[in-house]
């Protein structure tokens, strides 16, 4: 079984120094608001994703008045006889990753060692929030299981930035169409791959989402995702070229996968329009559960993070949720208290209480 045995933080968010030991199975971290519970989950996720699951910039994760942060996780991995020691640090010179004695030169070489599936209250915006949040959902989760997608996305964003900077440049007397066409061709090449992989990911994930949503609602609600690409995979270069004059006037790239979207459907209806708040919560949890099941087929090294999920679920829904998750997953749950948590879950969980004065 793969799991994190312990973690040590230095200058990460609210902590100058913090060390915690975990159970291989269910860990419930509880305490009042603003005592650093979510920060611990964020640090675990950072060891897998090399970024915050709360979409914070790396520099913002450094404790006030400090110049760096440091995260050290010790993992049990059945593929390795010894404990796996992972250290990730960040300062003004960049990010540094070390696994045992090996130092990674590129972030992309490390990402995918283990997968993270997280849920926190802001994930409810996946249904009714901005398109950018749904694209981020695609990018984070596809990148964990497909290194080529991650590299293609990095190339796309780099070319897009260069193209947009050129379009915004007011100093030029005339647009160099040859140069612009070159950037457009390079952009289109990466766009085709990104669009195709996003479409494939959603098609492969949907059966898991349908199954999880039906289980959670006793067969009443079937959730699925629909990909809404901004441009057609086969004709994306033509679409870029047809918009060049418009892009010059707008001073930005107005077509491409950086404008893609996905729709969340419940019983074939757009959840953004028709779903209640309770249905939205259930749909998002079903999507995250489905991610766990789907990604587990690709890489069985996985950690589940549930930040303040149980507060809105009754006792039976709590048990149903954990029953769907594989027993081979290590699970972290945060809560303001344990009195509203199913007793059967508490009896097999490692309880970790946080207090305000522990932030040192």
186-237: per-residue pLDDT in tens?
999 999 999 999 999 999 999 999 999 999 888 999 999 999 999 999 999 9
Share of the chain above pLDDT 90, in %: 82
All domains of the chain, ordered by start, with CATH?
Answer: 1-114+300-360 (3.40.50.300), 127-298 (1.20.1050.90)
Do residues 45 and 61 make contact, with C-beta atoms less than 8 angstroms apart? Answer: no
Q: Are strands 269-270 and 261-266 parallel, antiparallel or unpaired?
A: antiparallel
Do residues 243 and 254 make contact, with C-beta atoms less than 8 angstroms apart? Answer: yes
Q: Maximum distance among all alpha carbons in the chain?
A: 72
22 token code pair: 């975990």
Return the number of other C-beta atoms located less than 10 Å from residue 3's C-beta: 21
Sign of CA dihedral 272, 119, 288, 200: positive
Do residues 205 and 294 make contact, with C-beta atoms less than 8 angstroms apart? Answer: yes
Mean pLDDT of 168-192: 88
- For the chain, the average pLDDT equals 93
Using a 10 angstrom Cβ sphere, with 0-12 exposed, 13-18 middle and 19 or more buried, the burial of residue 169 is exposed
Do residues 236 and 188 make contact, with C-beta atoms less than 8 angstroms apart? Answer: yes
The answer, yes or no, to whether residue 334 has pLDDT greater than 70, is yes
Digit-coded pLDDT (tens) for 96-111? 999 999 999 999 999 9
- Secondary structure (3-state) at 70: strand
Tell me which of 291 and 122 has the higher pLDDT: 291
Tell me which of 81 and 280 has the higher pLDDT: 280
- Secondary structure (3-state) at 30: strand
Do residues 217 and 177 make contact, with C-beta atoms less than 8 angstroms apart? Answer: no
CA 289 to chain centre: 13
pTM, rounded to two decimals? 0.93
Return the number of other C-beta atoms located less than 10 Å from residue 307's C-beta: 23
- Secondary structure (3-state) at 67: coil
7 token code pair: 């973690």
pLDDT of residue 55: 84
The answer, yes or no, to whether residue 182 has pLDDT greater than 80, is yes
Digit-coded pLDDT (tens) for 49-83? 999 998 899 999 999 999 999 999 999 998 877 79
Q: 282, 293, 347, 351: which is closest to 29 by C-alpha? A: 351
pLDDT band for 358, please (50, 70, 90 cuts): low
Beta-carbon contacts of 269 under 8 Å, excluding residues fewer than 6 positions away, are 275
pLDDT of residue 8: 98
d(CA 154, CA 80): 31
- Secondary structure (3-state) at 69: strand
DSSP assignment letter at 304 = E
CA 355 to chain centre: 28
pLDDT of residue 324: 80
d(CA 283, CA 210): 10
pLDDT of residue 327: 67
pLDDT of residue 318: 87
d(CA 255, CA 15): 43
């Amino acid at each position: 079984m793969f799991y994190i045995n312990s973690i040590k933080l230095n200058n990460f968010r609210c902590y100058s120094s913090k060390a915690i030991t975990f159970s291989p199975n269910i860990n419930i971290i509880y305490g009042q608001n603003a005592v650093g519970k979510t920060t611990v989950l964020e640090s675990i996720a950072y060891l897998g994703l090399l970024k915050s699951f709360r979409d914070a910039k790396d520099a913002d994760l450094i404790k006030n008045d400090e110049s760096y942060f440091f995260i050290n996780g010790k993992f049990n991995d059945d593929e390795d006889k010894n404990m796996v020691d992972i250290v990730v640090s960040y300062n003004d010179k960049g990010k540094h990753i070390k696994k045992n004695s090996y130092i990674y030169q590129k972030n992309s070489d490390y990402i995918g060692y283990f997968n993270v599936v997280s849920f926190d209250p802001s994930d409810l915006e996946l249904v009714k929030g901005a398109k950018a949040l749904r694209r981020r959902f695609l990018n984070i989760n596809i990148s964990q299981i497909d290194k080529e997608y991650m590299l293609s996305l990095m190339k796309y964003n780099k070319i897009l930035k260069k193209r947009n900077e050129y379009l915004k440049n007011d100093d030029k007397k005339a647009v160099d169409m040859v140069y612009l066409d070159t950037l457009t061709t390079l952009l289109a090449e990466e766009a085709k791959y990104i669009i195709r992989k996003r479409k494939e990911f959603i098609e492969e994930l949907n059966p898991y989402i349908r199954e999880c949503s039906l289980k959670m609602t006793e067969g009443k609600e079937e959730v699925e995702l629909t990909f809404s690409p901004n441009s057609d995979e086969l004709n994306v270069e033509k679409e870029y070229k047809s918009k060049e004059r418009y892009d010059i006037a707008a001073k930005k790239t107005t077509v491409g996968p950086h404008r893609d979207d996905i729709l969340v459907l419940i019983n074939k209806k757009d959840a953004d329009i028709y779903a209640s708040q309770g249905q939205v919560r259930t749909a998002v949890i079903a999507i995250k559960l489905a991610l766990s099941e789907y990604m587990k087929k690709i890489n069985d090294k996985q950690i589940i993070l549930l930040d303040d999920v149980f507060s809105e679920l009754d006792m039976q829904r709590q048990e149903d949720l954990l029953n769907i998750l594989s027993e081979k997953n290590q699970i972290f749950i945060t809560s303001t208290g344990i009195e509203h948590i199913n007793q059967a879950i508490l009896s097999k969980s490692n309880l970790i209480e946080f207090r305000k004065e522990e932030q040192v």
